[in-house]
Structure 1
Amino acid sequence: MKLLDHLLPDKDDPLPDSAGTLSTNLIKLAKLGGYLARAHDPPPGNTVMCRGLSRLTDIRIGMTIGAELLGN
């Protein structure tokens, strides 16, 4: 959830360290998968959620590898 908050920060969140709700984190995950989150869009589907989870996993793996290579 911290990685999602770092990648897609809330515009109206006064506390950046707050975990947020499940629905906001699911929308953030769906946005990574290509969901646009417009006012009249239906809820995100399985394909978009799977793409978002895959992309989040790839980002996390990249961060881990980068930290190991740089020694941070």
Structure 2
Amino acid sequence: MEHSWVDKETAETNLGDARLNRRLGAMLEALEQRPGQSLPTAFQDWSNTKAAYRFLSNENVSEDKILEGHFAASALRIQATEGPILILQDTTEFNFKRADPDKIGFTKSSTGRK
């Protein structure tokens, strides 16, 4: 039986309760289906959304514990290769919202010629 990416990515995650581990997997699968969406949109109904909020507020759940499985899976992927490992990171953030967009005004005119 082939394991899903979620199973592989969370195999070493231990939140102290099998139900919490399963909930993390279910949440990751839902978020995969709707990337970038809010939790209510990603989870589609109130019961799943409420379960996600309960999961995130559980004292046994922390960022470190959630990422533990991901770090272990990443280490296995690195060990499985002999070639160079590229680690890409982009922490760039853009915010184009303005309190008063009219204050920006006309910023530049370009005719495509120099």
Q: TM-score, normalised on structure 1? A: 0.38
User: Which structure: larger Rg?
Assistant: 2
Q: TM-score, normalised on structure 2? A: 0.27
Compare the two structures and name the one with the higher helix fraction: 1
